[in-house]
Amino acid sequence: MWIGRISGLCCAFLIVVSTARATDNNVEVLHRERSLYRNIVVYEEEGLRCMAFGRTTTARQSCTALAEPSRLVFNYARMVMAALYLNPTPQRILILGLGGGTLPSAFQRLFPDAAIDAVEIDPAVVRVARKYFGFEQAPKTRVFEEDGRVFVKRMQRTNGQYDLIVLDAFDHEYIPEHMLTREFLLEVRSLLGDRGVLAANTFSVSKLYAHESATYYSVFGDFFGLKQNNRVILERLDGLPSKAEIERNAALLEPKLAPLGVDKSWLLPQIEIERGWPPATRILTDQYSPSNLLNTPP
């Protein structure tokens, strides 16, 4: 999911919509739309309804299983749920990047009394999530249509605090560069309450990999890195929990997470402290964040 840099523009200027339906190679296109930020395609294929950013259906941003809408389709979404092993009862949750609303919907089901803030700059993505992916806000869920970093800065001014923050902001290429930097992560860190947990969805293979690792380490210290297609980075503000604590929380959460397709026997072996990037790796900053150059296979 993606949150761009531009905010505060009138929604009336954002969209040019096509609602044509088409079938091509067993792919049924339900919706095409060109917003100010991206091309959006919604399509169905092999029992999945998916959202893609771009002119094709190859770069999937969000998918839901039509027969099991509560099941998390993507590995990265299931890995994000490992954040609950670090803090099993979050009551204040922030998610940057909406996509089809998969993660907010999952947390609403898990924690119906939690206050959830979801931030997405593109009003078109919010509309598509509601119309085509069944995203409905619970009474204590708020959706903000603005730049994710602008939102974080605003929450800093109001001393906003969260138990869990999920970074899931993507476009058709990668995370926006202003949301990769040490300065941004320090801003996010300031919003974490006691024992607050951060879960960040990143790529598992690119020339940015070591730079991202060094940048997260510079802000948080040791982190868990879970890898299945994507990498999910997990941090806890007061330090990473012991293996015994993680296993206890996993056992307690297993009945709640099972309907989402999350199995502790699959998830627990991935939770390891990540190390090993070169000591001289350059940290990403607001002055140095060339994601367009570094986000390529090594």
Domain boundaries, the chain: 11-65, 75-294
Q: CA 212 to CA 209: how far, in whole Å?
A: 5
DSSP designation for 270: G
Q: Check if 113 is active-site.
A: no
More confident: 94 or 295:
94
Q: Strand, coil or helix: what is 282?
A: coil
pLDDT for 60 = 84
The yes/no answer on whether domain 75-294 falls in CATH 1.20.1740.10 is no
Greatest alpha-carbon pair distance for the chain in Å reads 53
More confident: 1 or 81:
81
Q: Please state whether beta strands 115-119 and 39-45 pair in parallel, antiparallel, or not at all (unpaired).
A: unpaired
Residue pair 136/130 in contact by the 8 Å Cβ criterion: yes
**What mean pLDDT is predicted for residues 27-37?**
94
**pLDDT-above-90 percentage for the chain:** 81
pLDDT for 289 = 82
Averaged pLDDT of the chain: 90
pLDDT for 13 = 28
**What mean pLDDT is predicted for residues 155-177?**
92
Q: Token digits for 245? A: 């604590």
**Active-site residue identified among 122, 168, 194, 222:** 168
pLDDT at 18 over 50: no
The 10s digit of each residue's pLDDT in 248-277 is 999 999 999 999 999 999 999 999 999 999
Type and span of the H or E element at 64: strand 60-65
pLDDT at 10 over 50: no
Residue pair 198/80 in contact by the 8 Å Cβ criterion: no
For 6-18, letters b (16+ CB in 10 Å) and e give eeeeeeeebeeee
Place of tokens 């026997």: 265
pLDDT for 184 = 98
Report residue 217: phi and psi, to 5°.
Answer: -65, -35
The 10s digit of each residue's pLDDT in 94-111 is 999 999 999 999 999 999
pLDDT for 3 = 37
Residue pair 89/80 in contact by the 8 Å Cβ criterion: no
